[in-house]
Amino acid sequence: MPKRTDIESILLIGSGPIVIGQACEFDYSGTQACRALREEGYRVILANSNPATIMTDPTFADATYVEPLTLEVLRSIIETERPDALLPTLGGQTALNLSMELVEAGVLDEFGVELIGADATAIATAEDRENFKDAMVEIGLGVLRSGIAHTVEESMEVVEEIGLPVVIRPAYILGGRGTGIAKTREEFAAAAATGLAASPISEILIEESIAGWKEYELEVMRDRNDNQVIICSIENLDPMGVHTGDSITVAPIQTLSDPEYQVMRDAAFACLRRVGVETGGSNVQFAVEPDTGRQVIIEMNPRVSRSSALASKATGFPIAKIAAKLAVGYTLDEIPNDITKKTPSSFEPVIDYVVTKIPRWAFEKFPGTTGELGTSMQSVGEVMAIGRTFPESVQKACRSLELGQIGLNGGPAEQRYRDMGDDDLRVAVGIGTPDRLFEVAEALRRGWSVDELYELSRIDPWFLDQLSIVVEQRLWLEQHQGGIESLTRPEWRRTKQLGFSDAQVAHLVGGTEAAARAARLAAGVITTFKTVDTCAAEFEASTPYHYSTYEDESEVRPGTKPRVIILGSGPNRIGQGIEFDYCCVHASFALRDAGYETIMVNCNPETVSTDYDTSDRLYFEPITHEDVLNIIEAEAASEGELVGIIVSLGGQTPLKLADVLPPELVLGTGPSAIDAAEDREEWAALCARLDIPQPAGGTATSTDEALAVVERIGYPALVRPSYVLGGRAMEIVYDDVDLKRAMAALSAAGTLGREGGLSAERPVLVDRFLEGAIEVDVDAVRDGVGETVIGGVMEHVEEAGIHSGDSACVIPPSTLSDETIDVLCDYTRAIAAELDVQGPINVQYAVQKGQVFVIEANPRASRTVPFVSKATGRPMAMVASRVMAGSTFGELRAEGLLGPEPELEHWSVKEAVLPFNRFPGTDALLGPEMRSTGEVMGVDTSAGLAFVKSQLAAGTAIPEPEDGLVFLSLADRDKPGGIEAATLLAELGYRLAATQGTAAALDEAGLKVEQVVARIGVASDAPAEAGEPDAVMLMNDGRLTIVINTPRGRGARADGDYIRTAAAEHGVPLLTTVAAAKSFAIGIGELRETQLKVRSLQSIHEAVAAASGTVSGSGPEVDR
Amino acid sequence: MNRAATEHGNDAASNPTNEPTNDLTNDATKGDTVVSRIQPAALVMADGSVFEGEHIGAVPTGGIASGEVVFNTALAGYQEVLTDPSYAGQIITFTYPHIGNYGTAAADAESRGVFARGVVVRDLARRHSNWRAEQDLGSFLERHGMAGIAGVDTRRLTRLIRDVGALPGAFAPTDGPGAQTLEQLTASAEAEPGTDGIDLVAQVTTAEAYRVGSGPRRVVALDFGIKSTILEHLGRYATVDVLPASATAAEILALEPEGVFLSNGPGDPSEVPYAVATVKELVGKVPIFGICLGHQILALALGGRIVKLPFGHHGANHPVMNTERGQVEITSQNHNFAVDPESIASVAEVTHINLNDGVCQGLRVTGVPAYSVQHHPEASPGPHDSAYLFEQFETLMADAAGATAAGRA
């Protein structure tokens, strides 16, 4: 069936900001879909609030709306654009839910928009647990046995049928209170009674417990002709009980026989048919009882998912692209397989390697969390590794994580596991945590048997035995006498085939990594690169998609053009996410357009950079010294010139390698400039030379030194380790007690030592903290002939001290004077010149009472590059990459890649999105340590409206005055500003509540406070507060609709902590700075007067270009 | 025996029961090298390519295992492949690197033994894990006298075979007991006749007729190397008399079958002219269903021509278009020869086409109740997408019976 010609334009909804459970895999899927649909000649309209994505680059859609993803906004977009169809399945749960809302609100009917890819009934069937289960029972698939009981007697009858163990869930109970697991009849009787008592309607659901079962996933594609294929099968190493997003997963399935697998495959197809997934990709999850092989279907996602991204990267089959084409009417057999070119897409990829995914968590950022994995996803990113065998693949994945592990233990990072007592270890391997894999390896090292570990962990014995093979080899290496030089070729080969890094061998045998590498090469064991080709070499493939292994032959075929290697940013984590992938992908596009062969190196399966057609060649590899050197060797071995390596666009991951890679190959700013910016003394000297003021400060490698610095500069002080991204372990301290505690935490290495590496060479920085200052970020690029172009000046909405990644910021600055902005630009130019930057640079400033202080400079692309590019219409990452490869701005202007200084007539606000709802119990206070996972952008004709849009986009509902009270609790220094915000809100009709002190100040300013709020835990003997409720109680009652609570500085757990935590739990808008409160109030006011209007980026950029005197402002016209 | 660290699992072979072999973990600390405990082996191809590896399974009969080296890309189903008589005379390379993970089970055997000449893998599982498993694969190979080589760069080997076509090869241990030199292996590989010009069917067909199934229909199955899953399918609706490949048309018709099934089997169909002659006599007299070699034999009986494919089809993931339904089936495939569709155009229509390369994958004889497919609807290993073809046979027999009854009336 050919593509549909009755539709011309298609609306795609993206997944919005990166949050836990919904990360850049939907940028991958959305980008592929945009490209695929435009390739077919459709007009593509894209809605996504996330500026860091590649898909929201204006060249990827015909109309790109970076607007809040709400029903009202989507309605406006539909009203403006009148799309013929809506494709809801490529933007994660967000897009699916929003599409359902549009259906239910009648918007699609009203404007005649057809839902393609999945219809509303199908979505409802798949999404509703009960509907889904009924549907599966109807088609005869195995589901979990369960029953409902209202009395203990009934419950005993039910459990008789189901069999133990069971889970007991009381009906109508939020948050799982009364839920229990029973393994014996006695336990069950007790748990059933408890559950019945807990349920207000005396009803419990009794469901068989499948904790410890094996977990599997199948990625299925279906077309309108009912052709169905399995793209990839996945086996979870972690048993049922750990969310699949938090599980270590392996492709393909390892421990199912073909008869079992085929039954599962049939079941997946039957499931899609019954649910009614018309076309596209779906993910179906199964659990299998290990002792009987009984299969039950757990759930399905009728859309492209995180697993689809993994499956695409694991097999080379572009699921999202094909899903988009199927949605417009093609059938699988009509779409050619990109990789073989000769065969159709209606086949099932087979692979001849093993893929391992390991999630990456950020528990260290959220004190108070247990680190225990469960049924709710908590990881923030993931790595994938490809090896010929599971041992090789899992070891590569371990070193891709960038947590200090150079493999599956066998390095310094294993010490913490070696330090565990047997009893602790025995408990630990039974609980899913980020450390379990390494703990299992340690247990194997201690000689525990596979059977014992299986009993403890329920990790399948096959996996345990494979891990044991790795551990045995490490024991052998440790026993090896005669040093690294004496390892023979077969010994090296076997070691490398089991995935050991040179660094691991050096650690285990003794010696340096360099010596290990030299010995290995001398023994003739060189890296080979195999190809990912979807067909296990059955057909010839020209796919430029490679992974390293140690085999007989290498398949890399470099061309003759000059080549540039771009190092990606590794796993998503807080502080280093999709923004850097955006930069790397843009670099690849720009350099390819300029005639270079581009080579991408990355290990993150969620990204656009790891699509095999983003660059001329993709190496899916860990970003470590050894792995990058191996790629350099492979790439240097052919005719075309290897021009160099870009290390400054992927965040800290590649930048850390700048020092150790061949210096002549590092493009752009040299490693010495990177060090000069990082080294405290050099940096201070540089600022002094340029006469640029810095906050007073010093460096310390001990608590005494830190105290000495503070003696000189005074409190409050900001302490932070050098060479760390995302403000890891940054803290503002107000007294000696605080300082000592912070220093103790820093020097105890702990989690910090795993990431950044704290040492005498990398001391702690101690600076005077400029209270009440405005923070400003400047992004710029400098070329090889010394010209600096300012990309954007961003004024933070939050005050200095909040990590820039967590702070809202606005372009152009909304309160800074022109003079101040000029000073900021001048300083930036001077610093870039002094550091001899060639490429991107980001400089952070604090402006206190009109005086500009420089905080720090980073000669690399910053996290704000995509935001700046979207706000101004200038493709900064593209420009930076070209400059690093040697072009001048003059040349880029002549080409049209770089437009003139933009004249902005609109405001753009970037707001951070925080994951506190995933970590109940964690303080939702913003501080100098970054904790946001993603960002959104609001664009409008005033700063206030743009701010309100950014809040809407971040998921904050704008409450009406009649909904409840605005609660204020202000630090003394914030009271004047807070009163301004309160006045604005009161004028709009909002009613106020405040703590006693704040209430007094408001009262004094003539504002009526309707409710005085007690401090938390204050005994009612405090006369003024007697009988008054506290803020948490009010929020529990739903009476507060906006919370303005500014921090009071001290570290101890104060009222504010409870208030902010409760606000996060109840989803009440929470403003922690006066600046944000004012912007919010102004924006709400403006919103009252004008209706929220939507406008595409293309239209905004055209206006900018017109105002700046050029024709096009959206960057080069590139056909993607 | 020191079981510690053979990467590819010889130790499992010494453990004939299904008990886990877990006295493993600390042996490597005892000092001798892991590598020294592996028995090196090599595979030499007729073009001179050498592949290093290590010996697994039984000691090769006659010291060296030789045969035509082919590959299979299925991710699971190694036991079904190894026991498929169609692989007679061949050395099977599995492209998926981990083989043996879920052990072996009697229920998965596709025939009474192993007819292949050897097996090449990247990695043989040291320990298997699956509730169905009765024996590990290493022991299974030993029990069936099957030699193997592990640790081979099977991707390089697959690329070689893909590029030059099926190629003879020979392998054996190169050190320790039974060691052979590379020269000896080269000589063996060069001397290996391959599968051309040899009646491999005669080596695998049943010696005696036997009966399986208890369904109401009566089917005669000609055993050219039949897989047991096929008999399971037929046995659901028929009582099946399985006859040796040499059975004559008279012998077959004497059993008064309602349908004749032509089975899969190894090698070149032109080497079984007697079967072609038999089928020629049967066409039109009784409903016929053929699979794989049976499909080719039917085509030859219709006067068609067989061509040798450049690479053959060897996997469980091939898309086949059912031209009558307009739907794609993912199929299990194992063949080097195919029917030239032009050559049968006047007597039959093509019902199935391989979407990868357009090769004829199925035919229906015009005006006569006979049809056949090149791929394996019985799967094992592979997808069940084409299982409906067995139902079709039942329908065909029912229709024929109805027509006969109507004719009589």
For B208-224, how does the pLDDT look when each residue is reduced to its tens digit (9 = 90+)? 999 999 999 999 999 99
Which residue in A258, A288, A459, A498 has the most chain B C-beta atoms within 10 A of its own C-beta, making it the best mutation to test that interface? A258
Q: What are the backbone angles phi and psi of residue A1040, rounded to the nearest 5°?
A: -100, 135
Cβ atoms of A943 and A1079 within 8 Å: the answer is: yes
Q: Which residues of chain B have a CB within 8 Å of the CB of A536?
A: 73, 95-96, 155, 158, 315
Collapsed DSSP state (helix, strand, coil) of residue B287? coil
Q: Are B276 and B293 in contact (CB under 8 A)?
A: no
Q: How far apart are CA A574 and CA A566, in angstroms?
A: 22
d(CA B108, CA B128): 15
Q: Which chain B residues have a beta carbon less than 8 Å from that of A551?
A: 153, 155-156
Q: Are A412 and A507 in contact (CB under 8 A)?
A: yes
Q: Does B106 contact A at CB distance below 8 Å?
A: no
From chain A, pick out residues whose CB is under 8 angstroms from the CB of B76.
Answer: 253, 256-258, 261
* Catalytic residue check, B360: no
Q: Which helix or strand (DSSP H or E) is residue A148 part of?
A: strand A146-149
Interchain contact B325–A (C-beta under 8 A): no
Q: Alpha-carbon distance A653 to A657, whole Å? A: 7
Residue type, A896: G
Chain B residues whose CB is inside 8 A of the A444 CB are 25
Is the CB of B355 inside 8 Å of chain A's CB atoms?
A: yes
CA distance A395 to chain B (A): 16
Instruction: Look up B384 and say whether it is catalytic.
Output: no
CA A401 to chain centre: 14
Distances (CA, A) of A733 to A596, A612, A1050: 50, 47, 8
Q: What is the pLDDT at residue A442?
A: 98
Contact criterion met (CB < 8 Å) for B4 and A347: no
Task: Kindly report the average pLDDT of chain A as a whole number.
Answer: 90
- Tell me which chain A residues have a C-beta less than 8 angstroms from the C-beta of B131: 290-293
Check B356 against A343: CB less than 8 A apart: yes
In B, which residues are within 8 Å of A540 by CB distance?
162-163
Task: Quickly count: other Cβ atoms within 10 Å of residue A714's Cβ.
Answer: 10
Q: What is the pLDDT of residues A522-581, one digit of tens each?
A: 999 999 999 999 999 998 887 889 999 999 999 998 778 999 999 999 999 988 989 999
- Chain-centre distance of CA B223, in angstroms? 14
Catalytic residue among B54, B80, B378, B394: B378
DSSP for B65-104, please give it: EEEEEEEE--SS-HHHHHT-GGGTTEEEEESSSEESTT-B
Q: Does B75 touch chain A (CB under 8 A)?
A: yes
| Res. B17 pLDDT band, cuts 50 70 90 | very low
Spatial distance between the Cα atoms of A974 and A505, rounded to a whole number of angstroms: 57
Residue of B23, B132, B318 lying closest to A347 (CB–CB)? B318
Structural tokens at position A996: 């006693």
Contact status, residue A374 vs residue A367, Cβ threshold 8 Å: no
Chain-centroid distance of CA A868 in Å reads 20
Residue contact A347–B317, C-beta within 8 A: yes
Find chain A residues with C-beta within 8 A of B129's C-beta.
Answer: 255, 460-462, 465
| Gap between the Cα atoms of A551 and A496, Å rounded | 10
State pLDDT tens for residues B255-303: 999 999 999 999 899 999 999 999 999 999 999 999 999 999 999 999 9
- Please answer yes or no on whether B97 and A353 come within 8 Å at the CB atom: yes
Q: Of A814, A793, A1073, which is closest to residue A926 (Cα–Cα)? A: A1073
Strands A597-602 and A617-620: parallel
CB-closest option in A293, A346, A490 to B319: A346
**SS3 category, B353:** strand
pLDDT recorded at residue B406:
67
pTM: 0.92
**In chain B, which residue's Cα lies nearest the Cα of A348?**
B317
Q: What is the pLDDT of residue B257?
A: 97
| pLDDT given at position A1026 | 61
> A205-254: per-residue pLDDT in tens?
899 999 999 999 999 999 999 999 999 999 999 999 888 899 999 999 99
Q: What is the pLDDT of residues B62-102, one digit of tens each?
A: 999 999 999 999 999 999 999 999 999 999 999 999 999 99
CA distance A478 to chain B (A): 8
Residue B369 backbone class (left: φ over 0; alpha: ψ -120 to 50; beta: rest) = beta
- Nearest residue to A85 via CA among A117, A129, A123: A117
Nearest of B310, B314, B266 to residue B96 by alpha carbon: B314
pLDDT for A719 equals: 86
Between A225, A465, A490, which is nearest B326 by CB?
A: A225
How many angstroms separate the CA of residue B189 from the nearest CA in chain A? 20
- Side by side, the strands of the sheet bearing A280-288 are A295-301, A280-288, A214-222, A228-236, A249-251, A354-360, A381-387
A-chain residues near B95 (CB < 8 A):
350, 352, 536-538
What's the rounded Cα separation, in Å, for the pair A547 and A631?
Answer: 10
Put simply, whether B387 touches A (Cβ < 8 Å) is: no
Query: Which residue in the set B4, B96, B97 is minimally distant from A472, CB to CB?
Result: B4
d(CA A1096, CA A9): 15
Choose, from B292, B314, B329, B394, the residue flagged as catalytic.
B292
Contact A350 B317 (CB under 8 A): yes
**B380 contacts A258? CB cut-off 8 A:** yes
Chain B CB contacts of A498 below 8 Å? 7
Which residues of chain A make contact with B317, given a CB cutoff of 8 A? Answer: 347-350, 535
Q: Are A703 and A744 in contact (CB under 8 A)?
A: yes
Q: Which of residues 142-161 of B touch A (CB under 8 A)?
A: 153-156, 158-159
| A contact test, residue of B34, B50, B92, B228 with most A CBs within 10 A | B34
Which residue of B lies nearest to A539 if distances are taken between CA atoms? Answer: B162
What residues of chain A lie within 8 A of the CB of B315, using their CB?
350, 535-536, 538
Q: Which of A347, A460, A471 sits opposite B129 (nearest CB)?
A: A460
3-state SS, residue B398: helix
- B380·A290 Cβ contact <8 A: no
A117: closest CA of chain B, how far (Å): 19
Which of A349, A388, A450 is closest, CB to CB, to B97?
A: A388
Which of A51, A863, A932 lies closest to A574, judged by CA? A932
- Taking an 8 Å cut-off on Cβ atoms, the answer to whether B382 and A252 are in contact is no
Helix (H, G, I), strand (E, B) or coil at A590: helix
Question: Per the residue annotation, which of B110, B352, B376, B394 is the catalytic one?
Answer: B376
Task: Nearest chain A residue to B319 by CA: give it.
Answer: A347
Cβ–Cβ below 8 Å for A258 and B319: no
Q: At what angle do helices A489-497 and A513-522 cross, to 10 degrees?
A: 120
CB contact under 8 A, B357 and A342: yes
Which of A227, A259, A350 is nearest residue B108 as measured by Cβ atoms? A259
Counting one residue from chain A and one from chain B, the pairs whose CB atoms sit within 8 A come to 224
- The answer to whether A814 and A835 have CB atoms below 8 angstroms apart is no
**Mean pLDDT of successive 10-residue stretches along chain A, which has 1120 residues:** 91 94 90 96 97 95 97 97 96 93 96 93 88 95 92 92 88 66 89 86 90 96 96 97 93 98 98 94 96 96 92 96 96 90 91 98 82 86 97 98 95 96 97 96 98 97 98 96 95 97 97 97 97 92 91 88 96 92 97 97 97 95 98 87 95 91 94 86 92 90 89 88 62 85 70 43 81 89 97 87 83 93 97 96 93 94 96 96 97 95 93 77 68 92 92 88 90 86 93 91 92 68 64 86 76 60 77 83 88 93 85 43
Q: Which 8-state DSSP code applies to residue B275?
A: H
Return d(Cα A408, Cα A394) in angstroms, integer. 7
Q: Angle CA(A426)–CA(A427)–CA(A429) in degrees, nearest 5? A: 70
B376 touches A at CB < 8 Å = no
